[in-house]
Every structure is written in C-alpha cells, then in structure tokens.
Chains A and B, each alone.
Chain A
Amino acid sequence: AQKVTQAQTEISVVEKEDVTLDCVYETRDTTYYLFWYKQPPSGELVFLIRRNSFDEQNEISGRYSWNFQKSTSSFNFTITASQVVDSAVYFCALSEGYNAGNMLTFGGGTRLMVKP
C-alpha cells in the first residue's frame, strides 16, 4: 500500500526566511510519480511539480526547489526567501502512474504561515 507522510503539520516563518517542507513516502512499486500541490485559502489545489521515480535530479523553479532522494524515500520542498503570498497548505502526493489508474495518495499537508 502507498503512504505519504508530512510530519510537519504547521510551520511559521518570517518573510524572507527559507523554509523546507518534508515529505516521506512508501510504495512497493519501482515506477511511481511524486507531486507537490499548493492549496491557498480559496481551496483549489494548484499543481507545482511532478517527478518520476527514475529521475532523481533536483529541480529549481524560481524561489522553489525540490530534493528527491530515493535512498531515504523523501521528496522535500524548499522555498527560498519566503513571501506572504506563499502562505498556504502544501500537499505532497504519490501516484503509481497511468496504467495503475493514476490515483493520488496525499499526505496530511503542511500549513505554512509566512508573517510580514
């Protein structure tokens, strides 16, 4: 069975601080996909990034970066120089891919509060 754990339920930082959101996953499949979504107060889930299990390259997109480590089954998300607009709940999710139905298993989420 798949499982995603986000141990940090809530993080509070001051604007311009860097912050890392942790994600640990469990799966028995060798092919899988990892995602991060952002859920602002409006409620809509906004897609941020997808990684597949064969690509361990880290990725950077502006102030966002992701660190994927298969050895520790982790897919952590770092926001550099946080801004108030980054305040939201962030979800890490796992899928076994299209042929397995592509259903997402989500972690419990991390609520990030960025204070001015």
Chain B
Amino acid sequence: DTGVSQNPRHKITKRGQNVTFRCDPISEHNRLYWYRQTLGQGPEFLTYFQNEAQLEKSRLLSDRFSAERPKGSFSTLEIQRTEQGDSAMYLCASIPPGTVSATQYFGPGTRLLVL
C-alpha cells in the first residue's frame, strides 16, 4: 500500500502566474485534506473533500485558490495570480472511511516559491 503522493515536489514561479498541484491519496481513502505551512509555522488547514464533495473551506482559501477532486480519487489545488505571500509548503493528507478517530497520513508536500 503506497502512501500519499504529491507532485511536483518543488515549484518556482513568478508573481502573477498560475500554478497547480496534485495529490494522490492512499488507495480507498475517502477523505482528502489540504494544508499550508509557511516557514517556521505549523500547518494550517485549507480545505477537505469527502469523495468528490468539498465539505469545508478555511477562510485562508481566498478566491484565487480552488481545489477539486473530480472523481473522488486524486485532488488538485490551483492558485491563480500567485503572490509572494503564497510561498509555502502545501501538504496533502488522507484518511480511510468510517474511522472515528482517524489519523491523517501526509504526503511529502509541494514547496512553492513565488518570485
């Protein structure tokens, strides 16, 4: 059973460009979470999906951010018109269905640098 995977691992972009990240959760995990971690801080929740439905979004998720999970498997997180403040590590995690106290298992993250 492979773990959560994320691509790309690193992304450098210029301010104003759009970027898209992908997360592949552990097989059969129905919930998928996105977090953002800025330098020297703990991760902060952005949004999560149960299957293909996006159930909650943090106020951190501005209009420039959009996340999808079209078939309930992999998910994408897109940032439009990137700003330098978007520079961070973007982490994805997943959990299996039905477990009340489920532990989230994280992918390796995508490190974004906006110049």
- What is the interface of chain A, defined by CB distance below 8 A to chain B? 4, 33, 35, 37, 42-47, 50, 52, 91, 93, 97-99, 101-109
Write out the residue numbers on chain B whose beta carbons fall within 8 Å of the beta carbon of A102.
Answer: 31, 33, 48, 95, 102, 104
**Interface size classification for chain B:** 20 to 34
CB pairs A–B below 8 angstroms (30 shown):
A4-B42, A42-B108, A43-B109, A44-B108, A44-B109, A45-B43, A45-B93, A45-B106, A47-B103, A50-B101, A50-B103, A91-B43, A97-B100, A98-B95, A98-B98, A98-B99, A98-B102, A102-B31, A102-B95, A103-B45, A103-B48, A103-B56, A104-B33, A104-B35, A104-B93, A104-B104, A106-B43, A108-B40, A108-B41, A109-B42
Question: Which B residues form the contact surface with A (CB < 8 A)?
Answer: 31, 33, 35, 40-45, 48, 55-56, 89, 91, 93, 95, 98-109, 111
